[in-house]
Structure 1
């Protein structure tokens, strides 16, 4: 089954120096852009992460410091990458919890104002886990009847993810709609204002803290009652996207007062 698209969707996969969203960096990115008319565009880049790649990470994806020493940095690639995805929804495997948050950090670090406000995200892993509970290699074998060669290379994982989603739509046609908004909602585990889950939505749909001494309290109330807490959050070791969301809430509250 081909995807029913109202706008382009970019399947992508990242290989990184590690699994810390705020600190680790991209060493490889592959993007497969699928257009509503069925056309496809694919790009893969090796990336110099400007930090040592731990041997444990190299053992997984095969990318070493020597391999990326002369490759462009993410900042040098950032405008090209952003131009490819800026009009698109996003999809990946475990992308809601890892790849999209890491991509957001890298783009914000490169002074590109990335957000998810005009797009949806489809996490193919979540569909698989809700239906079958397996890994990407097993998903590829289960849904597509093929062995995943070169697993843990960004390009192979990206193309496999695209093929798996199409097969999932065929297999679960009675349960899944071929619609990116539906698939985004189906693959969203919980509603959060930021990728890392530090800011959640309460029962009234208002932003609230999910951690620390203000857990469960509305963000706007905390900013009003304890202004210094906002400054501490911006200077603390939180992801850049979380800080972007907090700043937007503060500006919104300020604008509401002025109006």
Structure 2
């Protein structure tokens, strides 16, 4: 049986911004699907403790006022998310995350911010991630166009209602992963452990290629140094005193 016909757990975060080192979780979802079982979904709304920029609110629809009025304490939310994913990993279930280094790194930094044991410290080397963005770029590298989750859903003929809401995006990521495996035999024919490892290699190659592109693009040369190659998350760098 291929990994894509077994149970998968999708994970998505909507946040206060794009800086994984400084921004905060606003909403998140962990959704279980496939494997012949019903879809299950847990969503969270956090009060991030900071002002949510208008640009971020325009994307996911959660304002500072709503987060403060309806959101739960951020530390509680982060701890529950970490435990939910850890339970899935402990059960041998792959975690599907579109652009994993963003969501998983942000979760890692949030856990450290609140003194919560980070996911990687709990599950160690047992974490197995499926990243549709990395896989799609690897198997179809010359296809033109963007590769956001919305773009991939359109390309693979999948519906994506309420894009940029955590629950919709988490489920859509699982559906794209399934579609990728259905279309590309080399994906569905690769064991999960090996697929996780090869995605690390693909992600590093893709990041290195992107950095090289930036380095030779007039006006963007300075951006090349900020491209990170870590996958499925960027390791935490301890700051010196």
Same fold (TM over 0.5): yes
Distance of aligned partners of 1:34 and 1:183 in 2 relative to their CA distance in 1, 3 Å threshold: farther
RMSD, aligned CA? 2.8
**Which residue is 1:85 aligned to?**
85
Q: Is the CA contact (8 Å cut-off) linking 1:107 and 1:113 kept in structure 2?
A: yes
Q: 2:116 & 2:36 partners in 1: Cα distance?
A: 29
**Which residue is 2:4 aligned to?**
3
Whether 1:14 and 2:9 are equivalent positions in the alignment is no
Query: Structure 1 runs of 4+ off > 6 angstroms?
Result: none
Q: Which runs of 5+ in 1 are unaligned?
A: 192-210, 212-238, 247-259
**Which residue is 2:204 aligned to?**
190
Whether 1:137 and 2:132 are equivalent positions in the alignment is no
Q: 1:240 & 1:170 partners in 2: Cα distance?
A: 32
Match of 2:128 among 120, 140, 154: 120
Q: Is the CA contact (8 Å cut-off) linking 1:53 and 1:64 kept in structure 2?
A: yes
Aligned residues: 195
Rg larger in 1 or in 2? 1
Q: 1:36 & 1:104 partners in 2: Cα distance?
A: 28
Greater relative contact order (Cα < 8 A, sep 6+): 2
**Which residue is 1:201 aligned to?**
none
What TM-score does the superposition give when structure 2 sets the normalisation length? 0.71
Q: 1:123 & 1:49 partners in 2: Cα distance?
A: 26
Deviation track 1:175-208 (CA, whole Å, cap 9, x = no partner) reads 54353223322322239xxxxxxxxxxxxxxxxx
Deviation track 1:207-242 (CA, whole Å, cap 9, x = no partner) reads xxxx9xxxxxxxxxxxxxxxxxxxxxxxxxxx9832
Secondary structure at 2:237 match in 1: helix
What TM-score does the superposition give when structure 1 sets the normalisation length? 0.66
Q: Is the CA contact (8 Å cut-off) linking 2:9 and 2:33 kept in structure 1?
A: yes
Q: Is the CA contact (8 Å cut-off) linking 1:46 and 1:68 kept in structure 2?
A: yes
Distance of aligned partners of 1:58 and 1:69 in 2 relative to their CA distance in 1, 3 Å threshold: same
